[in-house]
Chains A and B, each alone.
Chain A
């Protein structure tokens, strides 16, 4: 009996040649939302990776005579108040924002899910893990960031160079300060799951804990994790902009989507293009990740996959 079937007794036994991941992929492909999301996400990814080779304007180049343009042939997305080309900035900013957003989200999901599952499943460590979660929730974020930057910025800068040093620092800061909600939510779910019949059944036939965790618990807490992940990307992109605004992030001439949106906010009525494009880029990314998450969740749910 495969484990996938263990928690879905009504699903017909799949033919032997079909692997679980093959099933998941087939199911994912049939999900229109997921495919649309994947397409948009890939498009954004391609644009930010290859875009700068097609639109070769330097995002840092200032041209004070061509400032505050809404739209023109030379500047399809207009320029900012120092005459920097917005399209080039959105493309360059996307590289940073996507890299930071995805890595920080993965880190935060990893920590959050691990803490949540372990705390929910093993009662002995629940107390300790949850008190640590309480502590992290209670820490004053801003002073903490200032302390971390003060302690580690120059060390990291010396060790791996200014830009990658700051990248590691930012990802670490965002990851380490945003896993707590995921952990609490996952733990809540695990608490009820571990008393469900299929887990009790698995335990009664002597299944080892780590197999129960990976085969029974994890797939069933995927949906809140997926939601957290979607929200986490948006959160990471926005938090990154808050960090650079505080002077803790990338240097000020290093564009990111969140920062472009923040800097452009006051220019909303003068040059709306300054907020529309970065705002749209963030929203589209989050939306596409959300649909991909939906599709993945549906595809991984054996009860739905069979349909």
Chain B
């Protein structure tokens, strides 16, 4: 397994380089323009000047290589400098800078991580915690009322988009009942009990909207996989051997049923870092998802390229984690 992991990690480097090139090419081809957000009163000559000042008149390959250098050399050195306090070389390196904010992209990402991890991350945790037991019980008692209700709720949860559920929650809990804030305050620091309560209050609605969506998806896969396994021969054998029903279901069946769920969760974790564009927008959480969408709308190529590439790294990494977990869950799976 170790050689497999090392081989895959080494293989990830050319893969990621190829991905970064393709992403850059797509962003470059994409018809958006960094001056599209400026009022029309700004004349065309000035716009052309702005483009030049952003380096857009350089050839494609030069801009790509510059980004590579900034991402793989300048930024890591910068982080190293901050950690160790040493200065390497002259210490004056060009960092990846967003076109819209004219500030280092990495700083923007770091600034936004807390709210995204709190809201989107929590929604995944809550979603998985709800979904796994629901999936297990639904499958074990297939077609019971619990299963039927579970199916119904998760189908509603999946088929009704978050732009609708989010707005509905705001109308009920923020407008009519006035219980919860509809706007997330990113300047809030949790220092005491009352600020902690405020933090929980502003997290409830966005987290629940996303958790409902995630739980619907995970519980369906959990249920289907459990159903497949409950009818397998080894279950019959285990029962025949006189094992306790609880052990059979929760240890043997559950373990064997987790493979698709692990896949879904491993696919979801990078999405946590990608943020939830619509939900963040509705509740004004202003995390990574909102950063990405603003970057795309403003054709802020350095920002979008960096965010998307970090996202790609996480995808490659977590799919590797999933592959390793398959081996743990089912030792018969071999990769070499």
Residues of chain A at the chain B interface (Cβ within 8 Å): 10, 33, 123, 127, 130-131, 133-135, 137-140, 142-144, 146-147, 150, 180-181, 184-185, 188-189, 191-192, 195-196, 220, 223-224, 226-227, 230-231, 234, 237-238, 241, 258, 261-262, 265-266, 268-269, 275, 279, 282-283, 285-287, 290-291, 297, 301, 303-304
Kindly list chain B residues whose C-beta atoms are within 8 Å of the C-beta of A195.
Answer: 330, 332-334
A223-B228 in contact (CB<8A): yes
Instruction: Provide the bound-state CA to CA distance between A196 and B152, in Å.
Output: 34
Kindly list chain A residues whose C-beta atoms are within 8 Å of the C-beta of B167.
Answer: 265-266, 268
Instruction: Provide the bound-state CA to CA distance between A193 and B11, in Å.
Output: 26
Task: Encode contact with A along B157-178: 1 for CB under 8 Å, 0 otherwise.
Answer: 0111101100110010000000
Kindly list chain A residues whose C-beta atoms are within 8 Å of the C-beta of B270.
Answer: 137
Enumerate the 5 nearest inter-chain pairs by beta-carbon distance, A residue then B residue, closest first: A138-B312, A195-B332, A286-B159, A143-B30, A223-B224
Chain B residue, CB-CB nearest to A282 = B159
A139-B11 in contact (CB<8A): no
Kindly list chain A residues whose C-beta atoms are within 8 Å of the C-beta of B256.
Answer: 192
Instruction: Provide the bound-state CA to CA distance between A74 and B155, in Å.
Output: 32
Nearest chain A CB to B316 CB, angstrom units: 5
Query: B151 an interface residue at 8 Å Cβ cutoff?
Result: yes
A140-B333 in contact (CB<8A): no
Candidates B225, B309, B311; contact of A223 at CB < 8 Å: B225
Residues of chain B at the chain A interface (Cβ within 8 Å): 11, 15, 18-19, 22-23, 26-27, 29-32, 143, 151-152, 155-156, 158-161, 163-164, 167-168, 171, 217, 220-221, 224-225, 227-228, 231, 233, 256, 259-260, 262-264, 266-267, 270, 292-293, 296, 304, 308-309, 311-312, 315-316, 319, 322, 326, 330, 332-335
Kindly list chain B residues whose C-beta atoms are within 8 Å of the C-beta of A134.
Answer: 15, 19, 312, 315-316, 319
Kindly list chain A residues whose C-beta atoms are within 8 Å of the C-beta of B259.
Answer: 188-189, 191-192
Instruction: Provide the bound-state CA to CA distance between A192 and B256, in Å.
Output: 9
Kindly list chain B residues whose C-beta atoms are within 8 Å of the C-beta of A123.
Answer: 335
Kindly list chain A residues whose C-beta atoms are within 8 Å of the C-beta of B263.
Answer: 181, 184-185, 188
Candidates B156, B231, B296; contact of A304 at CB < 8 Å: B231
Candidates B27, B168, B330; contact of A140 at CB < 8 Å: B27
B312-A224 in contact (CB<8A): no
Instruction: Provide the bound-state CA to CA distance between A58 and B12, in Å.
Output: 55
Chain B residue, CB-CB nearest to A287 = B155
Chain B residue, CB-CB nearest to A279 = B160
Kindly list chain A residues whose C-beta atoms are within 8 Å of the C-beta of B11.
Answer: 127, 131
How many contacts A-B (CB < 8 Å)? 162
B160-A282 in contact (CB<8A): yes
B22-A139 in contact (CB<8A): yes
A224-B260 in contact (CB<8A): yes
A227-B220 in contact (CB<8A): yes
Known: A181-B263, A286-B158. 8 other contacts (CB 8 A): A140-B26, A140-B308, A181-B264, A185-B260, A185-B263, A191-B330, A234-B159, A265-B167
A135-B224 in contact (CB<8A): no
Instruction: Provide the bound-state CA to CA distance between A144 and B31, in Å.
Output: 10
Q: Could you list some 9 contacts between A and B, CB below 8 A?
A: A123-B335, A135-B15, A138-B312, A139-B26, A188-B262, A192-B326, A195-B330, A285-B159, A301-B231
Kindly list chain B residues whose C-beta atoms are within 8 Å of the C-beta of A269.
Answer: 171
B221-A224 in contact (CB<8A): yes
Candidates A181, A185, A192, A266; contact of B330 at CB < 8 Å: A192
Candidates B15, B23, B224; contact of A224 at CB < 8 Å: B224
**Contact status of A226 and B151, CB under 8 A, knowing A135-B18, A147-B26:** no
Instruction: Provide the bound-state CA to CA distance between A10 and B309, in Å.
Output: 51
Candidates B26, B155, B159, B171; contact of A143 at CB < 8 Å: B26
A261-B161 in contact (CB<8A): yes
B159-A188 in contact (CB<8A): no
Kindly list chain B residues whose C-beta atoms are within 8 Å of the C-beta of A290.
Answer: 151, 155
Nearest chain A CB to B25 CB, angstrom units: 9
Nearest chain A CB to B98 CB, angstrom units: 15
Q: Which of A135, A150, A269 has the most CB of B within 10 A?
A: A135
Nearest chain B CB to A67 CB, angstrom units: 21
Kindly list chain A residues whose C-beta atoms are within 8 Å of the C-beta of B155.
Answer: 230, 283, 286-287, 290
Instruction: Provide the bound-state CA to CA distance between A258 and B161, in Å.
Output: 9
Kindly list chain B residues whose C-beta atoms are within 8 Å of the C-beta of A266.
Answer: 167
B228-A220 in contact (CB<8A): yes
A234-B164 in contact (CB<8A): no
Nearest chain A CB to B174 CB, angstrom units: 13
Instruction: Provide the bound-state CA to CA distance between A123 and B11, in Å.
Output: 15
Kindly list chain B residues whose C-beta atoms are within 8 Å of the C-beta of A220.
Answer: 228
Candidates B32, B260, B267, B333; contact of A137 at CB < 8 Å: B267
**Contact status of A143 and B27, CB under 8 A, knowing A137-B267, A224-B260, A282-B160:** yes
Candidates A131, A184, A262, A285; contact of B267 at CB < 8 Å: A184
B171-A230 in contact (CB<8A): no
Chain B residue, CB-CB nearest to A223 = B224
Kindly list chain A residues whose C-beta atoms are within 8 Å of the C-beta of B304.
Answer: 140, 143
Instruction: Provide the bound-state CA to CA distance between A43 and B171, in Å.
Output: 33
